[in-house]
């Protein structure tokens, strides 16, 4: 069993309302399982996000985690994403409603 590792450390999307890649699962392995994910909002306004798992192109359109709101100075730990497997060569994507409002941290391990 592979060791747990940080897959994304304080990833902040650079555009609003556009899915952006948080991390890509290694194409040479059997995928990556997410063991923990936190979504923090340290901004001055509430912000929402959606999460997707899908290919690198085109960006996915069906959200695995539909719109979820994180209030000012709060952190969300979405259980729907814990234990999800990102297939080889695919990515975890996040779409946020407000630019520079949400920071995402993800840990997990590669499946071999």
CATH number of domain containing 90: 2.60.290
Residue 74 neighbours by CB distance under 10 Å: 13
Reported confidence tier of residue 1, pLDDT bands at 50, 70, 90: low
Percent of the chain at pLDDT above 70? 99
Domain assignment of residue 58, given as a range: 5-110
Nearest of 23, 84, 87, 77 to residue 49 by alpha carbon: 77
pTM comes to 0.92
Output the average pLDDT for the chain: 94
Q: What phi and psi, each to the nearest 5 degrees, are found at residue 108? A: 180, -170
The reported pLDDT for the residue numbered 2 is 72
Percent of the chain at pLDDT above 90? 88
Question: To 5 degrees, how large is the angle CA 62–CA 83–CA 61?
Answer: 10
The answer to whether residues 19 and 30 touch, using CB atoms and an 8 Å cutoff, is no
Say whether pLDDT at 59 is over 90. no
Q: What is the number of domains present in the chain?
A: 1
């Amino acid at each position: 069993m592979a060791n747990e590792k940080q897959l994304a450390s304080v990833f902040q999307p650079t555009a609003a309302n556009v899915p952006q890649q948080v991390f890509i699962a290694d194409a040479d392995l059997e995928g990556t399982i997410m063991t923990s994910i936190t979504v923090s909002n340290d901004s001055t306004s509430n912000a929402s996000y959606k999460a997707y798992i899908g290919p690198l192109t085109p960006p996915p359109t069906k959200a695995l985690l539909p719109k979820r709101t994180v209030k000012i100075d709060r952190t969300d730990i979405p259980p729907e994403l814990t234990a999800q497997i990102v297939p080889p060569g695919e990515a975890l994507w996040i779409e946020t409603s407000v630019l520079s409002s949400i920071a995402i941290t993800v840990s997990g391990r590669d499946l071999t």
